[in-house]
Amino acid sequence: MTDYIPVVIEVLSNPLNLLLLVASLIAGIIVGALPGLTVTMALALLLPFTFSLPADTSLIAMGGLYIGGMFGGCISAILINTPGTPSAIATTFDGYPMARSGKPHHAIVTAVLASGIGGIIGALALLFLTPLLSSLSLAFGPPEYFWVAMLGLSMIATLSSGSMLKGLIGGCLGLLLGTIGIAPIGGESRFTFGLAPLVAGLELTVVLIAFFCIPEVLRIVENRITGERIAYRKEKGVVAQMWNRLIRRPFLLLRSSVIGVIVGIIPGAGGNVASIISYDAAVKFSKDKKAFGKGSYEGVAASESANNAEVGGSLVPLLSLGIPGAPPAAIMMGALMIHGITPGPGLFTSQAGLVYTFLWAFLLANVLLIVLGLYLSGPIGRIINIRMDVLIPVIIFLSTIGAFAIRNNFTDVVMMVIIGLAAYLLSRLGFHPAPIVLGLILGPIAEVGLTQSILIGQAKDHVFAFFFTRPVSVVLMVLCALSIAVPLADKWLRSRRGSGQRQGKEEAE
Amino acid sequence: MRKMKLAAIMLLAVLLTGLAGCSAGSGPAAEGKEGDTKGYPKHPITYSIPFDPGGQSDLEARRQQPHLERILGTSIVITYKIGGGGAVGWTELAGKKPDGYFMAGINVPHIILQPLLQRDAGYKTEQLEPVAIFQSTPVGLAVRKDSSIQSLEDLIRMAKDKPGALTAAGVGTYTGHHMTHLLFEEKLEAAIQYIPFTGAAAAMQSFLGGNTDLLWGNSNDLVSYKDEFRLIAIGSAERFTALPDTPTFIEQGVDLIAGIDRGVAVPQGTPEKVVQELEKAFLKIAADPEVIRQMTAEGFEPKAMGAAESKAYIKQLKAEYEPLVAELRP
Amino acid sequence: MRLLNKDVLSAIVLLAVSAVVYLETAGLNEMSAVFPRSIGLLLGVLSVIYLVFSLLKPSASGLWEGTNKGRLAAAAAGIAAYAGLIWLSGFLIASILMMFSFISLLGGRESRRPLRLLQAGAIAILVSGFFFVLFKYVFIVPLPVGILFGA
């Protein structure tokens, strides 16, 4: 049972392996920070080298790249309002306002600490709870996917900062944008209007850039603040300050990480869903709801700890069932196969040395991420100190190259420009990007769950029961109902109190 | 301040000369005339993958990459053009200059079915000139260990007792798995509900979780799970090397051969000499004993079909699918 | 005039969108149509509510109130022109030109002085060049060459 320990220590004390781990972490952070470059692509580039490297070394490098990439996405989310990877989507909600108010360093330190802690919790779950969690992963069938998507969509109630009606309309628009292209279950192409490039559907990264980056660029140019810089205040003791704040909210990090792990073990639901659901939970549990969206460190911490905990979660079905929970995990599976190792049931016993080496390296990588991230946070934060008239074209340039590189498709650049201009118009009309993007991310998950459930339910003659009686479904439905009811009740109570006060005033006059 | 200015000018000058050099260097290469096949290949060849990085097509290309570079004496650049179940990548291939410097992985029957079934697939099967087919994965049918279905006979009986009550998971609609399912129903004269999934992993997860009764799986996935499932039948012509205990459909009286083939193609109109050059390289790799050993162990069937043979094979399959497709899309 | 405010107009556009969704899904098979059609219907209902609200309580502010339309249009046109230029002359040249013109136009009059122009050029070339090399040769992204240079 414990005879793998010497192997683990031997491999992890090898300086070459450690060096490779650090290098792959840094490479991952760079890839993650640049929109359009994905961890999946970087892992594929690494793949040919793994032919010649030993299995443990290549797994260590791949793990480092994966973890680094998941963290790196927060850098561009905080600095330029564009998530470097879709997983950092909720980080933009508060990270960018923090940066704009002159606290990019605080935001990045928060992200580093939250990512590291989330990653460590994910790694511990992977290390000790894999058998337990793998059975939970199998409990998610089509109806459960549908309800998970609904749970995410219920967040529109929280996110609609202005009017709830406009939030709902935005959500519908996002869901419809997500249906462009070939229907995942029906198989027919929809809303392509005869244009072949639309058959593949809209790429999430392109839409994210269009919705978060282009309108922001237009706003800055239009407001004539181009000659200025964001007031970057250099402060000492940022790390200690943020650490103290986070440690006083242990439940925030723990809750977010648990959400991350659970979303991770559901194959097909990735870091973006984890970060959204966790952000939503943070808002709901917080006493100071008003602070969110305006630069709350809690929002950054919730999003970042969840998406890094998701990495550990996504490896659970891979190692225990042989089912890759996310595209990067699929490449790691490919690398294992090259070495003649088939992931799946029995891997933990047949390849104990390798698996535990990987798991401990994974844990170590998260610790290294904290050290490395804190070290780099100062210089990265200072990037924002560039004059706006230089920063703006660089942002346009990076968005464009990112939109192209994600699928090597020039049509995506054109789509980015068109959707970006439309997004600006929509935000002027009071339709905020968050609900629209939420619909786009969760739409396909909801549609697949819905249509598959209908098909299976029809075959078994009980569509209704299939949706509403399965235990995990029931739990998710209750969560959905609570998620919608709590903010509504809250709003209602507040408006009653508010109107009561107004009446009082009128009487006084 | 003066120094900075000078430095900036010098930097600019250096960069500009570098730039000019670059564009001059790529000039003649970009102008590579069609028809001029002597000394092919003169510069790097792009090998485009129409699926996600890390997928089977990518793994195969990465396995071939070093061999191709050695045989052809130039570098092979692997790029991705993802989307629409491959349609985006094949549309790009169909529109590329037919000079042999751009090739893409192809999957059969995908390249036959998409143009037949989708209004706006973007390409026609004939626009893709196959160079070689190097791998095949037979499709098999599995049930869980705890299932009451012990054999194909049980399955047929149950399907006929309660038409449409059994469910089978497979990958996608209008895909290889879907067509296999339809052919299977036709041969059985029984109804089984097909449940499409967005990928092999999703289908596997849902099947293992008990959401569907049956699973259509590719041989490589079935090989890694052979201890978890009961394999009812496999779609190869003869018993499959990696799964010697699994009977074929034909053995059990159902005339069904089903599989997915992987190969590589160039745009239509590529000079014959260039196709031959590429064909030679791919067939040489296909004959490499180490490549064959690896593929077999992973659960694939190594193949070595040349350009003409592949073309005839695709044509024959297309003729087989057309009547089936006509029923689906009246 | 009050009747045709921005909210009324966008509600009408949204209704049109839901009508298009309904018509487009009409010819599809059941499993392709069920989800978008339901969402389209929901959007239709919400748009009607939106229309009623905006007719009852027209918003006072116009769409472009308080914006500098000139600067906005210039920025939008600049981004669109950049995309067009990439298609025409390839990624590297387009990026250098875009960056150079944005830096020298955004910075105000002061940025048109020779030294600042030179600086702008150097930044444009360095940044574009660095990322061009990174994407093209390290991450093997086939960046567009532009139709002027045959591709």
Q: Which residue among B8, B30, B173 sits closest to C150, beta carbon to beta carbon? A: B30
Q: In this complex, do C141 and B11 lie within 8 Å of one another by their Cβ atoms?
A: no
Residues of B within 8 A of C119 (CB-CB) are 8
Euclidean distance between CA atoms A268 and A377, whole angstroms: 32
Q: What average pLDDT does the segment B261-273 reach?
A: 94
Q: In this complex, do B120 and A458 lie within 8 Å of one another by their Cβ atoms?
A: no
- 3-state SS, residue B47: strand
What angle do the packed helices A271-285 and A250-265 form, to 10 degrees? Answer: 150
Contacts 24+ apart (CB under 8 A), A8-12: A8/A353, A8/A356, A8/A357, A8/A360, A11/A56, A11/A60, A11/A357, A11/A361, A12/A357, A12/A360, A12/A361, A12/A364
Report the pLDDT value the prediction gives residue C1, as an integer from 0 to 100: 45
Report the pLDDT value the prediction gives residue C2, as an integer from 0 to 100: 57
* C117 reaches B (C-beta below 8 A): no
Bridge pairing between strands B214-218 and B167-171: parallel
Euclidean distance between CA atoms A401 and A75, whole angstroms: 17
* A383 reaches B (C-beta below 8 A): no
Q: Token pair for residue A503?
A: 């009446």
pLDDT band per the 50, 70, 90 thresholds, residue B28:
very low
Euclidean distance between CA atoms A285 and A289, whole angstroms: 8
* A166 reaches C (C-beta below 8 A): yes
The candidate with the shortest Cα–Cα distance to B307, out of B289, B286, B288, B322, is B286
Q: Which residue among A187, A222, A389 sits closest to C103, beta carbon to beta carbon? A: A389
DSSP label at residue B247 = P
A450 and A153 in contact (C-beta within 8 Å)? no
Euclidean distance between CA atoms B75 and B60, whole angstroms: 16
Phi, psi (degrees; rounded to nearest 5) at B313: -60, -45
The alpha carbon of residue C136 is apart from the nearest alpha carbon of chain B, in Å, by: 11
Ranges of chain A whose pLDDT falls below 50: 1, 502-509
Buried b (16+ CB within 10 A) or exposed e, B285-304: bbeeeebeebbeebbbbbbb
**Nearest 5 degrees, angle CA C55-CA C61-CA C62?**
90
Euclidean distance between CA atoms A278 and A415, whole angstroms: 30
User: Percentage of chain C surpassing pLDDT 90?
Assistant: 54
Higher pLDDT, A9 or B13: A9
Q: What is the pTM of this model?
A: 0.85
Dihedral of alpha carbons B239, B240, B241, B245, sign: negative
A71 and A257 in contact (C-beta within 8 Å)? no
Q: In this complex, do A191 and C36 lie within 8 Å of one another by their Cβ atoms?
A: yes
Question: Any idea which fold B18-135+262-328 has?
Answer: D-Maltodextrin-Binding Protein; domain 2 (3.40.190)
SS (H, E, C) C34-63: HHHHHHHHHHHHHHHHHHHHHHHCCCCCCC
The candidate with the shortest Cα–Cα distance to B172, out of A458, A186, A268, is A186
Q: Does residue B25 have a pLDDT over 80?
A: no
**Nearest 5 degrees, angle CA B51-CA B54-CA B57?**
50
SS (H, E, C) A301-351: HHHHHHHHHHHHHHHHHHHHHCCCCCHHHHHHHHHHHHCCCCCCCCHHHHC
Q: Which residue among A195, A200, A327 sits closest to B84, beta carbon to beta carbon? A: A200
Report the pLDDT value the prediction gives residue A498, as an integer from 0 to 100: 62
> Which chain C residue shows the shortest CA-CA distance from A417?
C80
Q: How far is CA A495 from CA A506, B116, C117, in A?
A: 16, 59, 56
Which C-chain residues 118-147 have CB contacts (< 8 A) with chain B? 118-119, 121-122, 125-126, 129, 140-142, 145
pLDDT in tens, B47-82: 999 887 767 888 888 889 889 999 999 888 888 887
Q: Which helix (H) or strand (E) holds A189?
A: strand A189-190
The candidate with the shortest Cα–Cα distance to A98, out of A332, A272, A238, A297, is A297
Euclidean distance between CA atoms A499 and A509, whole angstroms: 15
A367 and A116 in contact (C-beta within 8 Å)? yes
Q: Which helix (H) or strand (E) holds B142?
A: strand B128-144
- Domain segments of chain A: what residues? 5-494
The candidate with the shortest Cα–Cα distance to C23, out of C40, C9, C11, is C40
- Domain segments of chain B: what residues? 18-135+262-328, 138-252
DSSP label at residue B230 = E
Non-local (6+) Cβ contacts of C147 within 8 A are C87, C88
The candidate with the shortest Cα–Cα distance to B126, out of B93, B82, B81, is B93
Q: Which helix (H) or strand (E) holds A145?
A: helix A142-153
* Chain C interface mutation, best of B12, B26, B78, B92, highest count of C Cβ atoms under 10 Å: B12
Residues of C within 8 A of A175 (CB-CB) are 39
Phi, psi (degrees; rounded to nearest 5) at A14: -70, 115
Q: Does residue B289 have a pLDDT over 90?
A: yes
Q: How far is CA A203 from CA A199, A277, C37, in A?
A: 11, 21, 22
Report the pLDDT value the prediction gives residue B10, as an integer from 0 to 100: 40
User: Percentage of chain B surpassing pLDDT 70?
Assistant: 88
The candidate with the shortest Cα–Cα distance to B92, out of B40, B49, B44, B62, is B49
Residues of C within 8 A of B77 (CB-CB) are 140, 142
Q: In this complex, do C35 and A404 lie within 8 Å of one another by their Cβ atoms?
A: no
Q: Does residue B15 have a pLDDT over 60?
A: no
Bridge pairing between strands B167-171 and B128-144: unpaired
Euclidean distance between CA atoms B268 and B99, whole angstroms: 10
Q: How far is CA B294 from CA A90, A448, B99, B253, B263, in A?
A: 43, 35, 32, 32, 17
Euclidean distance between CA atoms A146 and A157, whole angstroms: 18
CA dihedral C91, C96, C102, C107 (to 10 degrees): 160
* A457 reaches B (C-beta below 8 A): no
pLDDT in tens, B212-264: 999 999 988 888 787 788 999 999 988 988 888 899 999 999 989 899 999 99
Q: In this complex, do A41 and C139 lie within 8 Å of one another by their Cβ atoms?
A: yes
Buried b (16+ CB within 10 A) or exposed e, A255-285: bbbbbbbbbbbbbbbbbbbbbbbbbbbbbbe
Higher pLDDT, A231 or C25: C25
Is the ipTM higher than 0.90? The answer is: yes
B266 and B326 in contact (C-beta within 8 Å)? no
B104 and B49 in contact (C-beta within 8 Å)? yes
DSSP label at residue A199 = G
Report the pLDDT value the prediction gives residue A460, as an integer from 0 to 100: 84
DSSP per-residue codes, C73-127: HHHHHHHHHHHHHHHHH-HHHHHHHHHHHHHHHHT-GGGGSHHHHHHHHHHHHHH
Q: What average pLDDT does the segment B164-174 reach?
A: 90
* Chain B interface mutation, best of C89, C117, C147, C149, highest count of B Cβ atoms under 10 Å: C149
Euclidean distance between CA atoms A456 and A469, whole angstroms: 14
Bridge pairing between strands B301-305 and B128-144: antiparallel
Q: Which listed CATH number (3.10.20.600, 3.40.190.10, 3.30.930.10, 3.90.1150.10) goes with B138-252?
A: 3.40.190.10
Q: What average pLDDT does the segment B303-328 reach?
A: 89
Higher pLDDT, A324 or B268: B268
- 3-state SS, residue A90: helix
Non-local (6+) Cβ contacts of A386 within 8 A are A229, A394
**Nearest 5 degrees, angle CA A306-CA A311-CA A312?**
100
Euclidean distance between CA atoms B29 and B242, whole angstroms: 46
Q: What average pLDDT does the segment C3-12 reach?
A: 84
Q: Token pair for residue A23?
A: 């290098």
Q: Is residue A231 exposed (0-12), middle (13-18) or buried (19+ Cβ within 10 Å)?
A: exposed
Number of A/C CB contacts below 8 angstroms equals 168
A433 and A243 in contact (C-beta within 8 Å)? no
Report the pLDDT value the prediction gives residue B11, as an integer from 0 to 100: 40
Report the pLDDT value the prediction gives residue A448, as an integer from 0 to 100: 92
Q: What is the radius of gyration, based on Cα positions, of chain B?
A: 24
DSSP per-residue codes, B84-141: GGGHHHHHHHHTS-SSSSEEEEEEETHHHHHHHH-TT-SS-GGGEEEEEEEEEEEEEE
pLDDT in tens, C76-118: 999 999 999 999 999 999 999 999 999 888 877 777 788 889 9
Domains B18-135+262-328 and B138-252 fall in the same CATH topology: yes
Q: Token pair for residue B229?
A: 């499932």
A 10 A CB-CB count for A205 gives: 24
Q: Token pair for residue A50?
A: 């793994």
* Chain B interface mutation, best of A452, A460, A472, highest count of B Cβ atoms under 10 Å: A452
Residues of C within 8 A of B30 (CB-CB) are 145, 149-151
Cis? peptide before B109, omega within 30° of 0:
yes
Q: How far is CA A447 from CA A197, B70, B86, B173, C29, in A?
A: 22, 47, 21, 15, 14
C100 and C126 in contact (C-beta within 8 Å)? no
What angle do the packed helices A433-459 and A271-285 form, to 10 degrees? Answer: 110
